[in-house]
Structure 1
Amino acid sequence: MKNLKMINLDKIGITASTACAIHCAILPFLLTLLPLWGLEFLATPALEIFMILLSLLLGVWSLNKSYRIVHHNPGPIIILALGFGFILFGHFSGIEILEPILIPLGGFTIAGAHFLNLKLTKSCKHHH
Structure 2
Amino acid sequence: MTKLQLLSDKLAIGLSMVCAVHCLVLPMLLILVPPFSGLFALDDEMFHQWMLYAVLPISIAALMMGHFHHRSYEVFLVGSIGLSLIILSATLSHDVLGETGEVVLSILGSMIIAYGHFRNYQLSSARHETQ
Q: Same fold (TM over 0.5)?
A: yes
Say which of 94, 97, 112 aligns to 1:95: 97
Task: Output the CA distance in 1 between the equivalents of 2:88 and 2:49.
Answer: 14
Letter in 1 for 2:13: I
- Matched pairs, number: 122
CA contact (8 A) 1:20 1:52 kept: no
Aligned-partner SS, 1:116 = helix
Q: Where does structure 1 lack aligned partners over 5 or more consecutive residues?
A: none
Instruction: Quote the residue 1:114 is aligned against.
Output: 117
Letter in 1 for 2:59: G
Aligned-partner SS, 2:42 = helix
Greater mean alpha carbon deviation, residues 97-106 or residues 4-13:
4-13
Task: Output the CA distance in 2 between the equivalents of 1:88 and 1:82.
Answer: 10
Task: Output the CA distance in 2 between the equivalents of 1:41 and 1:57.
Answer: 25
Instruction: Quote the residue 1:57 is aligned against.
Output: 57
CA contact (8 A) 1:21 1:106 kept: no
**How do 1:23-42 residues align onto structure 2 when only pairs under 5 Å count?**
23-32=22-31, 33=33, 36=36, 38-42=38-42
Aligned-partner SS, 1:98 = helix
Letter in 2 for 1:43: D
More helix by share: 2
Q: Where does structure 2 lack aligned partners over 5 or more consecutive residues?
A: none
Q: TM-score, normalised by structure 1?
A: 0.79
Letter in 1 for 2:28: F
Letter in 2 for 1:27: L
CA contact (8 A) 1:25 1:101 kept: no
Shift of 1:83: 0.9
Task: Output the CA distance in 2 between the equivalents of 1:5 and 1:95.
Answer: 36
Task: Output the CA distance in 1 between the equivalents of 2:86 and 2:35.
Answer: 26
Instruction: Quote the residue 1:72 is aligned against.
Output: 71
Instruction: Quote the residue 2:43 is aligned against.
Output: 43
